[in-house]
């Protein structure tokens, strides 16, 4: 199946860091700064936003691999955003360059892979696990 995707597509997501977004609140550290797992989630969300709106009905993408560095801490109250750029398409496998920034500097960077799935077949397979 042909998908309407091309290298260079980008997605961006932005949030303002709140107390619930901190490492302390998330349980990934004892410090009141933006949590690494949430930064990773923002990066994944940006990648999803870059491609999923362009997929045919009944298809979506799921994250399969991340290689990310968290470079700098961000305090509560500061805006952060993630940008994902589609850099490679191999059939249903999609590769992204991902970066995250706060209002002062780059806070994260890395690569992310997603895989295009057909929702009904994927969910049927997942639901078989519970039986």
Per-domain residue ranges for the chain? 10-128
Condensed to tens digits (0 to 9), the pLDDT of residues 16-70 reads: 999 999 999 999 888 999 999 999 999 999 999 999 999 999 999 999 999 999 9
| CA distance linking residue 80 with residue 107, whole number of Å | 9
Measured between alpha carbons, how far apart are the two ends of the chain, in Å? 31
H or E stretch covering 36 = helix 36-51
DSSP 98-111: EEEEESSSEEEEEE
Q: Is the pLDDT of residue 1 over 70?
A: no
| CA distance linking residue 115 with residue 44, whole number of Å | 12
Q: Is the pLDDT of residue 2 over 90?
A: no
| Catalytic residue ranges | 36, 44, 70
pLDDT at 119: 96
Mean pLDDT score across all residues of the chain:
95
| CA distance linking residue 20 with residue 33, whole number of Å | 10
pLDDT at 59: 96
pLDDT at 3: 84
CATH 3.10.129.10 for domain 10-128, yes or no, is yes
Q: Is the pLDDT of residue 4 over 90?
A: no
The pLDDT of 89-116, averaged and rounded, is 97
Model confidence band, residue 131 (pLDDT cutoffs 50, 70, 90): confident
pTM above 0.75, yes or no: yes
pLDDT at 29: 86
């Amino acid at each position: 199946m042909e998908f309407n995707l091309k290298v260079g597509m980008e997605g961006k997501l932005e949030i303002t860091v709140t107390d619930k977004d901190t490492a302390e609140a998330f349980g990934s550290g004892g410090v009141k700064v933006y949590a690494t797992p949430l930064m990773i989630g923002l990066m994944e969300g940006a990648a999803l936003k870059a491609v999923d709106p362009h997929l045919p009905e009944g298809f979506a993408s799921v994250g399969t691999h991340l290689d990310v560095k968290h470079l700098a801490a961000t305090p509560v109250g500061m805006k952060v955003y993630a940008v994902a750029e589609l850099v490679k398409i191999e059939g249903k496998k999609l590769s992204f360059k991902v970066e995250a920034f706060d209002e002062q500097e780059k806070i994260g960077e890395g690569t992310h892979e997603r895989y295009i799935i057909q929702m009904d077949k994927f969910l049927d397979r997942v639901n078989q696990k519970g039986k």
